Structure 1
């Protein structure tokens, strides 16, 4: 158990090491923060020194997760530093080319399991703390949660994750390296979403082996993330989108429907693909529509009026969705 006081001392010591000009290589940093029992030197060193493609060729994401190490790529962040509103000033956003992180998991917060039940809502109200140390080319973050049975103030926070992050800016950003403010923003947003997942209501697949949760942005045209959580020790599958989505229903254990004002989509878990269902020739106005599945058909409705239908065809383990003739009068756009 790490106390808040010991962490503050470690951070102060690490800053002093930097001021004294002592080498801040990986082993020194991990030792200065007292993280040698959590972090693996070789993996951190490879992560910080390699390009994304090189690291991913050497390390398998699922194999790392089996060892309580979560490797994150850019879809793990809902807001990734890029502009999301036209009125943002240039200093308020970044030309982001790549974001990656390696997270050493020291404890799993109480939260959803694949049964869909959330047992972490009460825990989600407990105190959290995020501490970040910036090293120009990367950052180290430590995420703490208050322990339920803490006996004293000095032991009330448990270190849940230790993360090393790298952000690479694009050629059009005038800043040569990502500033500390961007790293702080990214981690704040990342853990806000993680806390939302912990308390959220998940939709469970028909076989009970998977569950879906959608985290939407502050506005409809802000980024969203569709999370798929698996039974067993498998990292979440994440689909990041440019605007909000809402869950409709599972079709089977490998396919489910989501929608927004652009129309419905089907997500294929067997290959990780997103299929757009509404095509240009589908002559109905999708704005404001909701969707439901009834008797092997996907139905678009708005204010209790039916606008459109598709047939859901199951064949040889595959799912196809094809348009059906409208029932009732055509609706004007």
Structure 2
């Protein structure tokens, strides 16, 4: 029997309450908009969250450009590339670390700019080349299209390593929410099946507020899963919206596939070191905690950072203290690798 121990993490943080009480929700993330049917929801212009006041600036701290990649079915998708203006200390290595970002948005919405603040910080502070992939979205392109597109974007980076100036033995994969789900699937493929295995080295996986298991397949006899109930109607992303996202991405009957629900993988051994960041007032909280625990139990070096009382994607309010900690943790963890 699982002892319930995570409920206190749902108690709203004072920093969050100061936002909830004094400010209207952001236009693209308001509760009203998130309740719209998908067709209506998509009519709302997508706006990534505002940048922190100390966000690195183009031309001064980094450059930002676009490129394209042709994926395995012949479709062309986009890439957003961030490059530092100044070279970080790489101990004699002139090649830069590659941070490959897979954006969030429930596999259904979002763009390569969804994690714009994070991507800028990593490029400028870590002296890294950041590539954010514009994978195709569900329900028009359901599982496993997003994974295939993201894998093909990564292969493009390897093939263009000289032009990008990256060290193919220093690659970090990162994603938020559904993007973290895709990254977790990518690490499993790269460990076991990918034809590129051995041609580059992934030294870390960044899993921010990750989706790791469809709730219908969650191993609840092994791990606690109450966050879908405790955080059902929380701001930004509640349980109902997550169910919609899952339904768009893959039928529930098939969602036990470990590439859709990485927590169900037969083995998590020999995966790259991980940073798992979890929000306490988030329907995804317990599956994030479970995945971090499963990685640790499998011998994977895992850093877990929990933000009690903060909702999913709270960093869209970027100047809150927990949001600053969130971005700083990403930069510091990548530097530690």
The two structures have a TM-score, normalised by structure 2, of 0.27
TM-score scaled by structure 1? Answer: 0.27
Q: Please identify the structure whose Cα radius of gyration is greater.
A: 1
| Structure with a larger share of its residues in strand | 1
Say which structure is richer in helix.
2
Which structure has the higher relative contact order (CA within 8 Å, separation 6+)? 2
